[in-house]
Structure 1
Amino acid sequence: MTFLTLDHLQKSFGPTRVVHDFDLAVDKGEFVSFLGPSGCGKTTVLRMVAGFETPSAGRIVIDGQDVTRSRPNQRRIGMVFQAYALFPNLTVAQNVGFGLKVAGVARAERGPRVTEMLELIGLSDLGGRYPWQLSGGQQQRVALARALAPRPRVLLLDEPLSALDAKIRVSLRNQIREIQQQLGITTIFVTHDQEEALSISDRIVVMHKGVADQTGTPAQIYNQPATDFVAGFVGTLNRFEAEVLDPARGLVRVEGAEIALDRPLPAGRITLAARPESLRIAEEGIPAEVTGAEFLGSVQRLRLLAGGREVVLDRFNAPGTELPRPGAQLRLAAPASGWLVLGA
């Protein structure tokens, strides 16, 4: 059931329009990520939902209530920022309870709620410490608890992990997802990190130049990109120029190798693409020369040149499988379903 509706949202700053006719319906309890490069409009949309920016056009509806012109404190929204924004003169417990105090929650109710939130984020024994006595990951967990304490209808997270190191990011993003599922709270998560979005989202909105290029599940976004931008932005993509030999049969020629696809194609020349994990070394296929190879534990990554283009091939590491040396001549193939046709 739709809980949050963004209906034809637009936002302009002076003559510059930064969000163009943005539509989205989010179900209750759904975790949706806005993914895109800097300046694509994702944070501006989030700030409009929070009430920090007023839409130039369009509506925002939460649980059947039109909140487009409501003040932020009237929307019952929890917000977690990239900067922890904790009060340095307040303890962890006081920081978590701050929103409850502002909301007018009775003192007798605040204590148990703060205790509940500290247990939820795994910091029950640190309630008496000050923010400067915590690690970055712990501070961000406190910020999350503070946002959740007043029981908001919607949780908004604006790149909350970008200031943390890699290991802490992975651990905290998994904890955020677990807490979100445990509470069943409708959540929007803004990030420019595709791995974050792919790993924890129910759906992803890929944004580009103020519009939603594609909305779908992580698998749909990665495996079935709807636009050239999505195909290139999400994951690594190898591109090949191809000549269509038989449009009806989907037969093409790439660097002298004939490839049969599983779909009809437009006549002329097209651009094919394949993910690194879709490519494999074969007896027949596209000729390529190895330029480098990396051992990444469970994966071997080969770097090649094919038709003057750089190509990356990932394959699982298996005992006894040697890395090919630079200069080795190989041929590349992929299953018919592993080829993407760009711009068609």
Structure 2
Amino acid sequence: MSFLVLDHLQKSFGTTKVVHDFNLSVDKGEFVSFLGPSGCGKTTVLRMVAGFETPSEGQIVIDGQDVTRLRPNQRQIGMVFQSYALFPNLTVAENVGFGLKVAGVPRAERGPRVAEMLDLIGLPDLGGRYPWQLSGGQQQRVALARALAPRPRVLLLDEPLSALDAKIRVSLRNQIREIQQQLGITTIFVTHDQEEALSISDRIVVMHKGIADQTGTPSDIYNSPATHFVAGFVGTLNRFEAEVVDAASGHVRVAGAGILLERPLPPGKVVLAARPESLQIAPEGIPAEITGVEFLGSVQRLRARVDGAEVVLDRFNAPGEELPRPGARVHLAAARASWLVLPE
């Protein structure tokens, strides 16, 4: 049986429904990310799990216990907010031990637990400082330690890295993942950053307009998007209008060039798609005109035009390799298995 079950959750504010029939089962120790743009409902679902919002319909079960109507402090949940929410008048150690104090844990037990948490987040010597004396990344680690100190059953993180600069975000997200795996705690992570979700999640729920468009592993979400929204939101995707020549054999034509796919197709017209790293310049294939070249360090990005639409090709940087110049006429191709056929 799943450790955390969200069963037909719905949430309305007045006449506006922001979450529609949301279902999810999470195994114990699993790391699941809610990914989507602002306003898609991901934080509302998280707040319902935490107990800060009451579902209009549906049920929330943690470890076999129905917690749908329980108060937040009755659910044994740890929460990390985007804004850190540390108490400015308390030291780091006092912040970390706050939940233990509220829970009535004896002082003799609180001290060792706080020390354990500070060691876990790599700040063993900063317990006597105040939040204003810490960097943003250090403050967020303290917030994480405070959430973990009472040994919650579920850890919830609401865009905890969005206020940090890029390099610190990468370092801290990796640390969060390492701590989560070390403790084996069931975790829900909310983010709008696809790279974050892809890099640290066991599974991803891509949300759009209050529904879960697709749930799957990072590889599933990226390589086999189930909807047009998922295909466009997660990573860069090139789309091509294709005419089906032979539906049974998967033979299609794009801009006059024949392509043979690995699967049968419906008759008529379909939308093919390919990731930038899947496309390559070839002796024959889809005719295109190079419109621009960008150097991105380890990757060189080529922009091209096919039938008036822009497409993007990514290739690893190879020092000394001569790239086609803007205006060059080329042909584009991809391996048969790389082509995606997008649903209607």
TM-score when normalising by structure 1? 0.99
Q: CA deviation at 1:319?
A: 3.4
2:278 aligns with: 278
2:195 aligns with: 195
- Distance in 2 between residues matched to 1:226 and 1:98, nearest whole Å: 44
Q: CA deviation at 1:102?
A: 0.7
- Distance in 2 between residues matched to 1:295 and 1:321, nearest whole Å: 12
Partner SS for 2:337? helix
Letter in structure 2 aligned against 1:153: R
* Paired residues of 1:257 and 1:285 also in contact (CA < 8 A): yes
- Distance in 2 between residues matched to 1:11 and 1:80, nearest whole Å: 22
2:14 aligns with: 14
* Paired residues of 1:35 and 1:193 also in contact (CA < 8 A): yes
* Paired residues of 2:35 and 2:206 also in contact (CA < 8 A): yes
The answer to whether residue 42 in structure 2 is matched with residue 42 in structure 1 is yes
1:100 aligns with: 100
1:73 aligns with: 73
Q: CA deviation at 1:251?
A: 0.6
Deviations 1:253-298 (A, max 9, x none): 1011000001011111111110001101100111111111112222
2:312 aligns with: 312
Q: CA deviation at 1:318?
A: 2.2
2:25 aligns with: 25
1:241 aligns with: 241
1:207 aligns with: 207
- Distance in 1 between residues matched to 2:314 and 2:321, nearest whole Å: 13
1:151 aligns with: 151
Please, which moves more after superposition, 295-304 or 274-283?
295-304
Deviations 1:280-324 (A, max 9, x none): 110011111111111222211111111111110001122331222
Deviations 1:1-28 (A, max 9, x none): 5100000111111111111111100000
Letter in structure 2 aligned against 1:53: E
- Distance in 1 between residues matched to 2:148 and 2:103, nearest whole Å: 13
- Distance in 1 between residues matched to 2:323 and 2:190, nearest whole Å: 38
2:181 aligns with: 181
Letter in structure 2 aligned against 1:273: A
- Distance in 1 between residues matched to 2:328 and 2:121, nearest whole Å: 52
Unaligned 5+ runs, structure 2: none
Deviations 1:162-220 (A, max 9, x none): 00000000000000000000000000000000000000000000001111010000000
Partner SS for 1:162? coil
- Distance in 2 between residues matched to 1:40 and 1:298, nearest whole Å: 33
* Paired residues of 1:300 and 1:323 also in contact (CA < 8 A): no
* Paired residues of 2:10 and 2:57 also in contact (CA < 8 A): yes
1:118 aligns with: 118
1:332 aligns with: 332
Q: Find runs of 4+ consecutive structure 1 residues off by over 2 angstroms.
A: none
Letter in structure 2 aligned against 1:207: M
Unaligned 5+ runs, structure 1: none
- Distance in 2 between residues matched to 1:297 and 1:229, nearest whole Å: 29
* Identical-residue share of aligned pairs (%): 85
- Distance in 2 between residues matched to 1:82 and 1:62, nearest whole Å: 24
- Distance in 2 between residues matched to 1:12 and 1:238, nearest whole Å: 36
Partner SS for 1:45? helix
Alignment of 1:292-311 (within 5 A): 292-311=292-311
* Paired residues of 2:48 and 2:55 also in contact (CA < 8 A): yes
TM-score when normalising by structure 2? 0.99
- Distance in 2 between residues matched to 1:134 and 1:305, nearest whole Å: 49
* Paired residues of 1:27 and 1:186 also in contact (CA < 8 A): yes
* Paired residues of 2:288 and 2:332 also in contact (CA < 8 A): yes
Please, which moves more after superposition, 308-317 or 74-83?
308-317
2:169 aligns with: 169
2:55 aligns with: 55
Partner SS for 1:2? coil
Deviations 1:73-123 (A, max 9, x none): 000000000001101111111110111101111100000000000000000
Work out the number of aligned pairs and report it.
344
Deviations 1:218-271 (A, max 9, x none): 000000001111111100000111111110111111011000001011111111
